[in-house]
Chain A
Amino acid sequence: MKKYNSVLKDALYELKLEELDALPDEDEIEHEFSNKFNKQTKKLIKSEKSKSKALKVAASIAVILIISVSLPTVNATDKIFDFFINIYNNVLNIKADYYSKSNQAHEITTFYFLNETPEGCRVKYYSTVPYIMRYQIANKDKSIVIYFTQSLKIYSGENNINTKDAYVEYLDINSIKNVIFIDNGETIYCIWDEHGYRFELSYTSSLGKDFLYKNIGKLYEFDVDNPPT
């Protein structure tokens, strides 16, 4: 089916321009944004920039990839669970198998949270859209930062994870098989399936593997109207 015709498109655009023309110029608006707004937006821009910088730096570093010998090879396209994993140029690429699973639910219906968070850590950020839920948890001085994500297996998002100088292995943790574990010395990253959803956890390496054993396979269900704080 044709989604639009050019006349409808033109008409919509014409009306939109009328709407824009009615707006004052940027410098005519006297509003001064609050410190909170400026701080948060700068943080948003800065965090996106630093992510890019980190990836660039990583790309220039020599390659040492350690994969546990007992593990299935992941240097070619390898279907694990319901998503595809590739490693090329030392970047682990995880992509959901969206199309073949398109008959699945399109919304998270049951939300899960970590069974145990380190002492002194609190939720700093929480957001949810129909197919993905994200949490950022940290202590006061941010020496411990944890990112926890729940998504649909069919979520069409894609992760590119630098595996240079990283230790990569599959683990069986509690009742959960094939947890992908990556430790680059600074951060531990894990991805696994539980309760029919895909979960990701990344956190400061100093917390060690113990943190995984306290949580993977032990996630608890919470009411979305009353999320953990």
Chain B
Amino acid sequence: MLNFSSTLIDTTEEKDKFEKLYHLYKKRMWYVAFQILNDPQKAEDAVQNAFIGIAKNISHIDNPDSKAAFAYVITAAKHCALNISAKDKAENLIEFETINFLDSKQEKEITDIDDKMLIISVLKKIPGAYRDLLYLYYYEDMSEKEIALLTGKRYTTVRKQISRARKAFSETLKKEGDIYEKI
């Protein structure tokens, strides 16, 4: 029977892309998830969830063989694993915290800085999960809604986590910048 519900993937080209991603990266996606969950079955669940998220955002991938596509699917798998891990630890209460968005000045600090070494140094100091979200948001140019679909998180959670990631970046940058200036 035809499923009349909204389709995840619309064209044959997208379906071929999806299938190629599956064959190229599924084991490495599992590996990344396993590093987080330390449970082979749960890691498979994470990969499964990641593929559902990828299917919903398949238009973001131009070439499945590219490094960017590899990065994209690995990031999705990692975050789906983190979701399962967070659920296991019942850490979802964090959802109810207030979101503090950056003001325009802080946002400008992030987008205006042009010293790559300094940025890399700052990015290495913030948590990996935050760095991933910044990667999807700034590098992949995805909206918060798209990131939510890809990673299987709630929209509000993604908004909050991106906000925290930017704040962590901004604060680390401030500290790092001071040290940098002194050097």
For residue B123, CB closer than 8 A to chain A, the reply is yes
Q: Scan A122-154; emit 1 where CB is below 8 A from any B CB, else 0.
A: 000001011110101000000001010100000
Cα separation A3 to B44 with both chains bound (whole Å): 34
The count of residues in chain A whose C-beta lies closer than 8 Å to any C-beta of chain B is 62
Pairs of residues from A and B, 3 with the lowest C-beta to C-beta distance, nearest first = A202-B4, A4-B138, A11-B119
A149 to B148, CA, bound (A): 19
A5 touches B139 (CB 8 A): no
Q: Inside 8 A of B7's CB, which chain A residues have their CB?
A: 48, 51, 160
Q: Which A residue sits closest to B132, measured CB to CB?
A: A16
Query: Is A13 part of the binding interface, using a Cβ–Cβ cutoff of 8 Å?
Result: yes
Q: How many residues of B sit at the interface, in one of the four size bands?
A: 35 or more
The reply on A100 being an interface residue by CB < 8 A is no
What is the predominant secondary structure among interface residues of chain A facing chain B? mixed
CB B2 to nearest CB in A, in angstroms, measures 5
**In the docked arrangement, what's the CA distance between A8 and B88, Å?**
34
Q: Is the CB of B155 within 8 A of A130?
A: yes
**Given A26-B24, A37-B44, A129-B154, 13 further pairs, Cβ under 8 A:** A4-B111, A4-B141, A5-B114, A7-B119, A10-B116, A12-B139, A23-B31, A41-B22, A47-B3, A51-B3, A158-B6, A186-B2, A204-B1
Is A48 a contact partner of B124 (Cβ separation < 8 A)? Answer: no
For the complex, give the distance between the alpha carbons of A54 and B71 in Å: 33
Measured in the bound complex, the distance between the Cα atoms of B108 and A1 in whole Å is 9
Q: Is A20 an interface residue (CB 8 A)?
A: yes
CB atoms of A9 and B112 under 8 A apart? no
Chain B residues with CB under 8 A of A36 = 44
Is A161 positioned at the interface, with any CB of B under 8 Å from its CB? yes
B38 within 8 A of A: no
B15 with A49: CB separation less than 8 A = yes
Whether B156 contacts A130 by the Cβ 8 Å rule is yes
Cβ < 8 Å to B, chain A residues 28-45: 29, 31, 33-34, 36-37, 40-41, 44-45
